[in-house]
Amino acid sequence: MPYHSVGGRSPHPVIRLLDPARSRVVLVTPSLRAQQVRSLELPGRRIRVATLMEADYQAWLEVRNRCRDWLVPWEPRSKGSPLPAEDHGSFVARCAMRERERQLGSGFGFGIFYEGRFVGEVTLSSILRGPFQNGSIGYWVDKDLAGLGIVPEAVVVVLRFAFETLRLHRIEVAIIPRNGASRRVAEKLALRNEGVALGFLEINGQWEDHVRYAMTSEEWAVRGAELIAAWID
Ligand SMILES: CC(C)(COP(=O)(O)OP(=O)(O)OC[C@H]1O[C@@H](n2cnc3c(N)ncnc32)[C@H](O)[C@@H]1OP(=O)(O)O)[C@@H](O)C(=O)NCCC(=O)NCCS
């Protein structure tokens, strides 16, 4: 069910979802709104990844405000479209959509928490089952905490979840070739470089080539213990 619109400035905004099967607008009830308890948390060594909820808004906004110029060049966005809304209602709507995706098994969005505070995000999205059994990982971290290995640790936590809990077959990380810092994450984890897909994703208004890094469950069976020992245990 695609996200349609978010309305209201009240602390309890109404979220409208378009239900294409029934051609009607569904009002999201409190049970579908941002959860007041985290629905999923996964531990790492220094970090934990956990579903975001309404109570994270101020911490998220503080990092987002400070890091906007650091993040925007790498974010999916079509040409001419505005930056994603950052108001409280939009954040709550996003948490609710993520919760819905989690319930459907189509995606898992996590905040990354380091020393107990919110420092970034990692997502496992575009999960397709059937003969594909595939998902994609995306991530970012607070610019003031870059270089500490926070994201590779978070990626290993999510890879473990994807292969050992969700039983997916292939996980991909697609990276713009000039994003050296992100490519280092894939290289540190020795994800397999599958080559460059031309004009693969629209990032910050431009169709950008991406290097496609991937790991399959067969590779995880061989390398998972080594990655867990190196990054989690
Ligand atoms: C890419 C990114 C997620 C890496 O996360 P991280 O937790 O810093 O990852 P690492 O600590 O393993 O560092 C990876 C590389 O970043 C580079 N780096 C280190 N410190 C840095 C800093 N202060 N500023 C920028 N880059 C830095 C180094 O090349 C490092 O590799 P090295 O450890 O071999 O020297 C992070 O730089 C980021 O959020 N960038 C902006 C958003 C983005 O690019 N997202 C990914 C889109 S595919």
- Ligand 1 center to residue 75 CA distance, Å? 15
pLDDT of residue 113: 98
Q: Which residues line ligand 1 at a C-beta cut-off of 6 Å?
A: 70-71, 74, 139-141, 146-152, 175, 179-182, 184-185, 188
C-alpha to C-alpha distance for 217 and 233, rounded to whole angstroms: 20
DSSP 126-152: EEE-TTT-EEEEEEEE-GGGTTSSHHH
Predicted TM-score (pTM) of this structure: 0.89
Report pLDDT digits (tens) over 121-179. Answer: 999 999 999 999 999 999 999 999 999 999 999 999 999 999 999 999 999 999 999 99
pLDDT at 25: 44
Task: Express each pLDDT in 43-102 by its tens digit.
Answer: 999 999 999 999 999 999 999 999 999 999 999 999 999 998 999 999 999 999 999 999
- CATH numbers and ranges of domains, the chain: 38-231 (3.40.630.30)
Q: Which of 184, 157, 182 is nearest to 171 (CA)?
A: 157
CA of 166 to the centre of ligand 1 (A): 27
Nearest of 226, 123, 209 to residue 171 by alpha carbon? 123
Predicted local confidence at residue 190, as pLDDT: 98
Query: Ligand 1 centroid to 115 CA: how many Å?
Result: 19
Q: Which strands, in side-by-side order, build the sheet including 47-50?
A: 41-43, 47-50, 108-114, 117-128, 134-141, 170-175, 206-216, 192-203
Model confidence at 35, pLDDT cuts 50, 70, 90, reads low
pLDDT of residue 30: 47
Task: Classify residue 37 by burial, with Cβ atoms within 10 Å: 0-12, 13-18, 19+.
Answer: exposed
3-state SS, one letter per residue, for 87-132: CHHHHHHHHHHHHHHHHHCCCEEEEEEECCEEEEEEEEEEEECCCC
State both tokens at 65: 């405000």
